[in-house]
Chains A and B, each alone.
Chain A
Amino acid sequence: MNGLKQHYAKIIVWAILLTIPYWFTYIGGYLGLANEIVIYALAAMALNFLLGFTGVLSFGHAAFFGLGAYGTALTIKFLVPSTLVGLAVGVLTATVAGMVIGALIIKRRGVYFAMATIAFGQLFFFIANRWNSVTGGDDGVGNWHRMPINLGFTTIPLFHNSLVYYYFTLLLFALAVGAMGLLLDGPFGRSLMAIRENERRARFLGINIELHVWISFVISTAICGLAGGMLALLDNFVNPRDLRFDLSGVLVVMAVMGGMRSFWGPLLGAAIFQWLREVLSSHTPNWQTYIGIVFVLVVLFFRRGILGFKLSTVKS
Chain B
Amino acid sequence: MSLLQIDHVSRHFGKLIAVNDVSLNVEPGELRAIIGPNGAGKTTFFNMISGFFPPTSGTISFDGENITKLTPEQRVARGMARTFQITEIFPELNVAGNLRIAVESAAGFRMKPWLNGAEKKLVADRIDELLTLGNLTTSAHDEVGALSHGDQRAVEIMMAMALRPKILLLDEPAAGMGDQETYDVSRLIRRVHREQKLTIMLVEHDMRVVFNLADRIMVLAEGALLAEGTPDEIAQSDVVQQAYLGKEADLGKEAA
Contacts and interface: CB of A to CB of B under 8 A. Distances in A.
Interface of A: 182-183, 185-188, 190-191, 193-194, 197-198, 200-208, 212, 312-316
A191 B110 contact: yes
Given A205-B105, A206-B76, 4 more contacts: A201-B88, A212-B111, A312-B97, A316-B97
A197 B92 CA distance: 7
B76 A204 contact: yes
A35 B143 CA distance: 40
Given A187-B115, A191-B101, A313-B92, A203 B72 contact: yes
Contacts of A316: 94-97, 100, 127, 140-141
A312 B141 CA distance: 10
Interface of B: 50, 72-73, 76-77, 81-82, 84, 88-97, 100-102, 104-106, 109-115, 127, 140-141, 143, 159, 162-163
Contacts of B84: 200
B81 A204 contact: yes
Majority secondary structure of chain B interface residues (helix, strand, loop or mixed)? mixed
Nearest to B99: A316
B111 A188 contact: yes
Contacts of B114: 182, 185-187
A166 B227 CA distance: 76
B93 A206 contact: no
Nearest to B109: A187
Given A187-B110, A191-B111, A315-B97, A203 B73 contact: yes
A194 B100 CA distance: 10
A235 B90 CA distance: 44
Q: Which 3 A-B pairs have the closest CB atoms?
A: A316-B96, A206-B76, A314-B97
Contacts of A315: 97
A188 B88 contact: no
Contacts of B77: 206
B175 to A, nearest CB: 16
A203 B47 CA distance: 14
A207 B110 contact: yes
13 contacts: A183-B113, A186-B113, A186-B115, A187-B115, A194-B101, A194-B105, A200-B84, A201-B90, A205-B101, A205-B105, A206-B106, A312-B92, A316-B141
A198 B104 contact: no
A207 B159 CA distance: 13
Contacts of A185: 114
A207 B207 CA distance: 34
A207 B103 CA distance: 12
A183 B112 CA distance: 9
From B89, B93, B112, residue with most partner A Cβ within 10 Å: B93
Given A312-B97, A314-B97, A207 B92 contact: no
Contacts of A187: 104, 109-115
Most buried by A among B101, B106, B140: B101
